[in-house]
Amino acid sequence: MYEKEINKRRTFAIISHPDAGKTTLTEKFLLYGGAINLAGSVKGKATARHAVSDWMEIEKERGISVTSSVLQFEYDGYCINILDTPGHQDFSEDTYRTLMAADSAVMVIDASKGVEAQTRKLFKVCAMRKIPIFTFINKMDRDANDTFELLDEIEKELGVATCPVNWPIGSGKRFKGVYDRNKKAVMTFSDTEKGTKEGHTDVLPVDDEDKLREFIGDEACDTLLEEIELIDGASAEFNLDEVQHGELSPVFFGSALTNFGVEMFLKYFLEMTTTPLARKADKGIIDPVTNDFSAFVFKIQANMNKAHRDRIAFMRICSGRFDAGMEVKHVQGGRVMRLSQPQQMMADARHVVDEAYAGDIIGVFDPGVFSIGDTICMPGENFEYEGIPTFAPEHFARVRQLDTMKRKQFVKGINQIAQEGAIQIFQEIGSGMEEIIVGVVGVLQFEVLKYRLENEYNVDIKLENLPYEHIRWIENKDEVDVSRLTGTSDMKKIQDLKGNPLLLFVNSWSVGMVLERNEGLKLTEFGRN
């Protein structure tokens, strides 16, 4: 019934190390889809424009993405949902949750830097979920590392075979274009006018050697012909099945800034990537086409609109069709409800939707009932999608409120930001909300917390860093009397907002000692949303 609509959906995340050009690439995709008319520079202070996918004030000031954005556009008969993720490692938890909502990932690599630390971390998450990965090696208009070394590094560092779909001819000032291995033709490079779709490109068959030499020069031509012979003999054969199981990464070269190779990449990517994938639930596999509407919450964001002070729950639709006004069941809340103000986003611009299909991402107004990982399905159904694990925080601080008269705003603000999953908040056992400890994956989250409490909730706070670096949830809390645990001198007992007991440690070896001293105690590094 909805098969045609669902099959034209493509939902993918874009991941990279900071400054690899991910946001610029996203903008060029939107340009091709006609979703924007002019691509702006990410840090374009001269024009005071910002990346279309960055909407939070701190992102505009700092020129970095700290939350994932959802962008939808149409191109060439496809309906494309892009999940643009923060590149900065301090926000990797948000990226991790976003990858749970994607069917494939585009990994952007800076050609002069190769595989960087954050790329490695994000790739591991993709590998864990067997997400198909497509690699775009960016910034070929600048001096780049050796092409063979780049491919070798991806294979060694990330443990995935690579198959170059196109091949660069030089880099930097000597960048002449790319060779399309499939079409056996060379696309010549010319710089584009900033913000436009494309410059003038000539397509030359590689076997017309005289014309090729005339366009790219003898030296570049000799090198190209030699390299073609090498890659045809040495690189992995293209195998779509291996790509779709995350075992082989197709590699493309280009320049997002000059818009060279971007449309070629987009076209090949759409051919190779999958329609919306089936998802695992506690009652088995949920097929996107044959099952009625279902979705799960992967992100909650407060105050996207300053005028309304609202909270938006982002849902990945996993099966069927969503119609505005339909009754659905919120499984964890055990209630039937209507999803209020269903909308799709273009950064901070939004439009209300009447219908959406499996593969789409919708945002709905959240009156404070949703949590990350919640399942939504039809009223007659009752199943839950796999939960999204929470990362163990690595940095902790005690939060002190400077003006006690603003207690109400403070409690509301810190709770709302915690429900988004950006921070985790804990209490000293028995202290209530008087003594709040914040845990974060990356220290930059402390800065974002302070900024947002001041700007969105009008509350000033002081953060006092704590020495703890290791946290463990008590897996068998019902079998253990937490008050009687024998600890170490560097251990602290705390609880999360749901009353679950946790232990903080300064040193990692203390974890083992506490397990030794308390027979039967089970500790885990992962909480569950």
How does pLDDT run across 235-288, given as a tens digit for each residue?
778 999 999 998 999 999 999 988 899 999 999 999 999 999 999 999 999 999
| Distance separating alpha carbons of residues 268 and 265, to the nearest angstrom | 5
Q: Which pLDDT does position 330 carry in this prediction?
A: 96
Q: Looking at the predicted structure, is the pLDDT value of residue 358 above 50?
A: yes
Tokens of 422: 């950006």
Higher pLDDT among residues 128 and 218, named by residue? 218
| Total of domains in the chain | 3
Q: Which pLDDT does position 59 carry in this prediction?
A: 45
* pLDDT band (50, 70, 90) for residue 318: very high
Domain end residue (candidates: 377, 407, 434): 377
- Tell me the average pLDDT across 487-497: 89
Same domain flag for 341 and 217: no
Domain end residue (candidates: 221, 245, 272): 272
Tokens of 332: 């964890």
Same domain flag for 199 and 241: yes
In 3D space, the residue among 489, 511, 493 whose CA is nearest the CA of residue 435 turns out to be 493
Q: Looking at the predicted structure, is the pLDDT value of residue 308 above 70?
A: no
DSSP 37: S
* pLDDT band (50, 70, 90) for residue 431: low
Assigned domain for 79 exists? no
Amino acid identity, residue 106?
V
Tokens of 357: 């299909």
Assigned domain for 184 exists? yes
Q: Which pLDDT does position 3 carry in this prediction?
A: 92
Tokens of 253: 């070269």
Q: Which pLDDT does position 116 carry in this prediction?
A: 79
Helix (H, G, I), strand (E, B) or coil at 253: strand
Q: Looking at the predicted structure, is the pLDDT value of residue 201 above 80?
A: no
Q: Looking at the predicted structure, is the pLDDT value of residue 374 above 60?
A: yes
* CA torsion through residues 483, 486, 489, 491, sign: negative
The DSSP string of 473-511 is EETTGGG--GGG----TTEEEEEETT--EEEEESSTHHH
| Distance separating alpha carbons of residues 108 and 439, to the nearest angstrom | 30
Q: Which of 48-52, 177-181, 440-444, 467-471 has the lowest mean pLDDT?
A: 48-52
Alpha-carbon separation of residue 193 from 34, 256, 267, 495 (angstroms): 17, 13, 22, 56
Q: Which pLDDT does position 503 carry in this prediction?
A: 93
> Can you give the length of the chain in residues?
529
Assigned domain for 6 exists? no
Assigned domain for 384 exists? no
Higher pLDDT among residues 509 and 53, named by residue? 509
Q: Which pLDDT does position 88 carry in this prediction?
A: 43
- Tell me the average pLDDT across 7-25: 87
Same domain flag for 372 and 404: no
pLDDT per residue over 36-78, tens digit each?
Answer: 655 443 333 333 344 444 444 544 444 433 344 678 888 999 9
Q: Looking at the predicted structure, is the pLDDT value of residue 91 above 50?
A: no
Q: Which pLDDT does position 64 carry in this prediction?
A: 39
Q: Which pLDDT does position 164 carry in this prediction?
A: 96
Sorted by sequence, the CB contacts under 8 Å of residue 494 that are 6+ apart come out as 426, 427, 428, 429, 437, 501, 502, 503, 504
Same domain flag for 24 and 169: yes
| Distance separating alpha carbons of residues 285 and 127, to the nearest angstrom | 20
Domain end residue (candidates: 346, 377, 408): 377
Instruction: Report the CATH number at residue 461.
Output: 3.30.70.3280
Instruction: Report the CATH number at residue 261.
Output: 3.40.50.300
Assigned domain for 3 exists? no
Assigned domain for 395 exists? yes
In 3D space, the residue among 130, 131, 123 whose CA is nearest the CA of residue 156 turns out to be 123
Assigned domain for 317 exists? yes
Q: Looking at the predicted structure, is the pLDDT value of residue 126 above 50?
A: yes
Find which of 89-103, 181-195, 332-346, 355-369 is predicted with most confidence, using mean pLDDT.
355-369
Radius of gyration of the chain (CA): 25
Assigned domain for 455 exists? yes
Q: Looking at the predicted structure, is the pLDDT value of residue 348 above 70?
A: no
Which domain, by its residues, includes 369?
279-377
Q: What percent of the chain has pLDDT over 90?
A: 43
Higher pLDDT among residues 147 and 60, named by residue? 147
Q: Which three-class secondary structure string do you get for 119-176?
A: HHHHHHHHHHHCCCEEEEEECCCCCCCCHHHHHHHHHHHHCCEEEECEEEECCHHHCC
Same domain flag for 194 and 321: no
Q: Which pLDDT does position 214 carry in this prediction?
A: 87
Same domain flag for 135 and 173: yes
Same domain flag for 457 and 346: no
Same domain flag for 418 and 287: no
Instruction: Report the CATH number at residue 325.
Output: 2.40.30.10
Q: Which pLDDT does position 385 carry in this prediction?
A: 94
Same domain flag for 266 and 284: no
- Tell me the average pLDDT across 460-468: 93
* pLDDT band (50, 70, 90) for residue 528: low
Same domain flag for 224 and 305: no
* pLDDT band (50, 70, 90) for residue 31: confident
Q: Which of 82-86, 264-268, 375-379 has the lowest mean pLDDT?
A: 82-86
Same domain flag for 37 and 176: yes
Q: Which pLDDT does position 306 carry in this prediction?
A: 57
Q: Which pLDDT does position 58 carry in this prediction?
A: 42
| Distance separating alpha carbons of residues 45 and 436, to the nearest angstrom | 38
Higher pLDDT among residues 313 and 303, named by residue? 313
- Tell me the average pLDDT across 176-199: 77
Same domain flag for 115 and 216: yes
In 3D space, the residue among 118, 131, 197 whose CA is nearest the CA of residue 160 turns out to be 131
Q: What's the angle, vertex CA 509, arms to CA 507 and CA 513, rounded to 5?
A: 120
DSSP 420: T
DSSP 338: E
Q: Looking at the predicted structure, is the pLDDT value of residue 289 above 50?
A: yes
Q: Which pLDDT does position 352 carry in this prediction?
A: 85
